[in-house]
Amino acid sequence: MSMLWCLGIRIHYRGIDAAVQLLEDMDMQAISWCECDDALPSLDIDDQGFPIASEFFLQGYSKHRPQDVDIQRKLDTLAALLEIPVPVFTIEEVDNADWLSVCYQQLEPRQLGRYYVYGSHNPDPADDNLIPLRIDAATAFGSGEHPTTSGCLLALDGLANDHQFSKMLDMGCGSGILAIAMAKTWPHAKVLGVDNDPESVRVTQQNAILNSCGRNLEALMSEGFADLRVYNAGPFEVVTANILAKPLCMMAPDVKDCLVPGGLVILSGLLDRQKSQVLEAYEVIGFTLVKTYPIEDWATLVLKRG
């Protein structure tokens, strides 16, 4: 098996663009970056009113080992020019593997409330009281392992005993795991999964067939609520949205407009430190908090429209 070298850089947020350019100049095969989960919020605000995380982590992958001395010299120069702390970097050798296949084989079954999430390589659940969700690791987000997906499934489980729904929406459906959970828990409901990524829509449709719920689950591509078919399919009694804090805040008015009075929204994809900002965006337009599902550093919120 061939190997790759992974260069990781932890850097002050004001150095992200320069660091990305540095990696691009090194002809990296792939580059990614995200805010550090343990980073404190900075004093600067982005264009949507959120504090910017103080540190980000970048990764670049190369067939050839980057030279430590060369990387240190470039980062020292970058830090001096931008007047930021000198970034910390690591260099690791990693397998050049088909990580999708690796994840598929390593995905262990999980029970989340009444839901049993498993891959095609695992046997069906032995307990007939569990609702099986057969989701393979694939090219769309949502295998049940991430705390945000787990929180949403636990929230749906909490609604299942004493609620009946006829119209439900999963905004940002990814693999379709939440939409499928809704379709199997409330088999008489019409469930709509929406994503702005055509691959996610394709995977959701495929997983709906795999889970024998394609008849009451539809998936379509839309940038949020932009496609009128989303509104025309409502109003909904439940909306799930496992996305990110910023878009959750921005779509709050649209969520309200597509929900029936007294309808419920399950919000996830937000870190615990972002909870107050997301809550404020919904409470100011008449939503009330019903329950919170905290898992690790993440939070899932259940709110009710007034």
The string of pLDDT tens digits covering residues 14-66 is 999 999 999 999 988 889 999 898 888 888 887 667 788 999 999 999 988 99
Q: Which CATH architecture has domain 3-97?
A: 2-Layer Sandwich (3.30)
Given a cut of 50, the residues of the chain with pLDDT beneath it are 140
Q: What is the CATH number of domain 109-305?
A: 3.40.50.150
Q: Domain locations in the chain? A: 3-97, 109-305
| Predicted pLDDT at 102 | 52
- Both tokens of 142, joined, read 């949502």
| Predicted pLDDT at 140 | 43
| Percentage of the chain modeled with pLDDT above 90 | 71
| Predicted pLDDT at 128 | 82
